[in-house]
Structure 1
Amino acid sequence: MTHYLLRNENAVYYECGFSCDNEIFFKSGDEAWFITDPRYTEEAKTSVRNAEVVEAQDLTKALRALLRKKRIRKLWYDPGEWSVADFKKISEKLTIHLAPKADFSKQKRIIKREDEIKLLKSAVTEGARAFERFADFLRQKGEGLSEARLFFEASLLLQDEGAYSLSFEPIVALNENASKPHALPTEKSLKRGDLILVDAGIKEKRYCSDRTRTAEFTAEINFSKAQRFSDPKRQKIYDLVRKAQETAIGAIRPGITAKEIDHAAREVIERGGYGQYFVHSTGHGVGLDIHELPVISKRSETVIEENMVFTIEPGIYLPGEFGVRIEDMVRVTADGAEVL
């Protein structure tokens, strides 16, 4: 792919080490241009690497001038990055063949470099510490607070007084609300014996972490994976989900397909009698974006390779009762997987 356009901030950052909310990145052979408006020019010029910064009030007009100058015949773009209106402005009266290729930047980023793995490990470590801070908060001040307030407090603790940004808005769900995989916070209050599901992550220099834990709220609550529930049904479901996660992680190795990993987790839950309540894929890639490639799903034919990084997050969701999910990020090694 010799000539291509990018507009997604993380895709652009991967190419040149800088991005902003109004940019176009154009790559042509050994040359590249970062086109932005005057609000970002000064910072771009000190931060962008391996590309020329072009200042323009009309980014599309500046891009079209470059395209005419380069006289290229074929230009790749990701259709998911462009609105219909912007694409029309770029392509109108141009003789260049604009070739769509979805997610080509994410495909380029699917194998992580060592420096990226180091940042991802750091994000995971700091994210785990934030879970510990949240557990401590719950022990001291959590009882009686609403999900909405717990969501707010978790967000603050994750960011650690501004040291980190969030990978995504955290999920804090109690009891029956946890049966919704991406539950929104309610005004229901936390009480002793409640099941609490927390899904959250932070960024280390833009690289994301993603972690989910499910626990019972007691005076000694923690977010380790060794959990004990007073309700036998909750314990049974939790143990089944944990076994599914461990089985899937144990199946990971270079050369197998993503759907084989998904099958390893799904088979445990199906044999336990709860297959219909595992309603999402087993995992997803993580990097600059919280959802990258590979997708670990029952239909994914992606062949797993060393230094891919993705989540393993099986779950069981019983509508009107509760839900359990356990999630960790893993790196594929030469002969298996490392839990980050």
Structure 2
Amino acid sequence: MRVKTVHEEKTKGICNLINSRKAEGILIKHSSNVFYIAGYSGEECYLFVSKNGIVNLYVDGRYYERAAIETENKNINVKCFKELYKDVALNLQTEFKLKSGDIILFESAYFTYEEYFGFNSELKWLSFIPARDILLKLRCLKTAEEIKNIKQAIYIAEKSMAAAIKNIAEDFSSENKISELDIANQYRINLLNMGSSENVAFETIVLKAERSAMPHGIPMSNNIINDGKNNILLCDFGAKYSHYNSDETVTLFYGTPDIKFTDIYDIVYSAQQLAISAIKPGLRFCDLDKIARDYIDKKGYGKYFTHSLGHGVGLDIHEYPFISFRNEDIIEEGMVFTVEPGVYIEGFGGVRIEDMCLVTKNGAEILTTITKDGIKNII
């Protein structure tokens, strides 16, 4: 018996979604979803998947050769358009024999009004039905190849950040002053030297002292790290390898940490470990979030934990599943997501500890490898 390819399995899953909504097919625009299905990494394209598993990729003629090469051996039909809405609509109508009232799903989260209006005007006898984020739950179950790519992205990111941080320790007391932005820029250079597909998976966060209380602050050139003072350094960083992302946060200390920082660090770490140890198929995401949140609240810092516990990581740096009190979906084997509790106190600083986890049949495998079971001093 012939074993189905990964591409065929993905297409089958999409067809099941299409048929469950009694549609003829789905128009896809989001670049990550196009790559997931067809293996094409370009922009300026549309993908149509029919209810029977026929996959057409519509590209501007300038990108035809690239699209043909990237989708080779995947049973993808690459087609050129000159007049976008007219040409795509004509092909859909003639190839799939669409009738009045037939349903076409489209990715409403990613289509502009102009695009919706353009296709709807050319195919006005059809019913265009929004299908917001229809592929996210399919994408959240990672294949072995996807996990391999994520692990390589993690390896590149960790090595690159370790090398960047090392510069602070070596030059801590020198006249060569190193800023938050210097570390972020050096990290980007290290990523490219290590083989990252792009210079960053997202904008690197490097924040010192009280600025670490901003969960998504921007590194600045005038914030000097090696100023000889004891303080916090929060680094949130990622890499991209073969289109797949990593995401990790470490909170470091340069000099001798005070008791308040030590206590907060231990609380955040314990909350994270409680949550990770509870991960298993069948548990609701809202319950996982509650485990970490309740622990931090019990220790008196609940109001300073201001974001959800984590998020999925894959082709997008933030993707389904989202680990929050609102998500009552259940955890499934094969999911990859972050666990990243944090405490952020204005005027003092913040602590966030973030690891990526793979759900196994028995629990969770921590994919990130930097140990976080104690405060790491730069010097």
TM-score by length of 1: 0.93
Give the deviation of 1:6 after TM superposition. 0.8
One-letter amino acid matched to 2:223: K
CA distance in structure 1 between the partners assigned to 2:141 and 2:125 by the alignment: 35
1:189 matched to 2:224: yes
The C-alpha deviation readout for 1:296-335, integer Å capped at 9, x for no partner, is 0011111101111000000000012101100000001111
Partner of 1:170: 204
CA distance in structure 1 between the partners assigned to 2:172 and 2:76 by the alignment: 50
SS in 2 for 1:154: helix
Tell me if structure 1 keeps the 8 A contact 2:156–2:195: no
Tell me if structure 1 keeps the 8 A contact 2:357–2:366: yes
1:77 matched to 2:77: no
SS in 1 for 2:240: strand
Counting only pairs closer than 5 Å after superposition, residues 143-292 of structure 1 correspond to structure 2 as: 144-160=177-193, 163-165=196-198, 166-186=200-220, 187-190=222-225, 191-192=227-228, 193-218=230-255, 229-292=256-319
Give the deviation of 1:142 after TM superposition. 6.2
CA distance in structure 1 between the partners assigned to 2:267 and 2:189 by the alignment: 32
Partner of 2:9: none
1:137 matched to 2:167: yes
Partner of 2:68: 45
CA distance in structure 1 between the partners assigned to 2:275 and 2:172 by the alignment: 33
Tell me if structure 2 keeps the 8 A contact 1:265–1:314: yes
Partner of 1:91: 120
CA distance in structure 2 between the partners assigned to 1:142 and 1:39 by the alignment: 51
Give the deviation of 1:27 after TM superposition. 1.0
Counterpart of 1:35 (choices 58, 79, 89) is 58
CA distance in structure 1 between the partners assigned to 2:216 and 2:292 by the alignment: 20
Counterpart of 1:64 (choices 64, 78, 89) is 89
Tell me if structure 1 keeps the 8 A contact 2:280–2:361: yes
Partner of 1:54: 79
Give the deviation of 1:46 after TM superposition. 1.2
CA distance in structure 2 between the partners assigned to 1:188 and 1:74 by the alignment: 56
- Bigger CA radius of gyration: 2
CA distance in structure 2 between the partners assigned to 1:297 and 1:24 by the alignment: 32
Tell me if structure 2 keeps the 8 A contact 1:150–1:172: yes
Q: Which ranges of structure 1 fall in alignment gaps of 5 or more residues? A: 219-228
SS in 2 for 1:33: strand
Tell me if structure 1 keeps the 8 A contact 2:213–2:345: yes
Partner of 1:221: none
CA distance in structure 2 between the partners assigned to 1:95 and 1:157 by the alignment: 54
The C-alpha deviation readout for 1:77-115, integer Å capped at 9, x for no partner, is 121111111111111152111111211121210111111
Partner of 1:224: none
Partner of 1:296: 323
TM-score by length of 2: 0.84
The C-alpha deviation readout for 1:124-175, integer Å capped at 9, x for no partner, is 2222222221222222246622222222222222332654422111101111
Number of positions where the alignment pairs a residue of Structure 1 with one of Structure 2: 330
Give the deviation of 1:282 after TM superposition. 0.2
CA distance in structure 1 between the partners assigned to 2:315 and 2:204 by the alignment: 17
Counterpart of 1:15 (choices 27, 37, 43) is 37
Q: Rate the CA distance shift 1:268–1:159 in 2: closer, same or farther, 3 A.
A: farther
One-letter amino acid matched to 1:151: A
SS in 2 for 1:310: strand
Q: Which ranges of structure 2 fall in alignment gaps of 5 or more residues? A: 1-17, 20-24, 368-379
Q: Could you tell which deviates more after superposition, 186-195 or 288-297?
A: 186-195
CA distance in structure 1 between the partners assigned to 2:171 and 2:119 by the alignment: 55
Q: Rate the CA distance shift 1:163–1:202 in 2: closer, same or farther, 3 A.
A: closer
Tell me if structure 2 keeps the 8 A contact 1:255–1:304: yes
Q: Could you tell which deviates more after superposition, 112-121 or 259-268?
A: 112-121
Identity, % of aligned pairs?
A: 34
Tell me if structure 2 keeps the 8 A contact 1:142–1:150: no
CA distance in structure 1 between the partners assigned to 2:172 and 2:250 by the alignment: 17
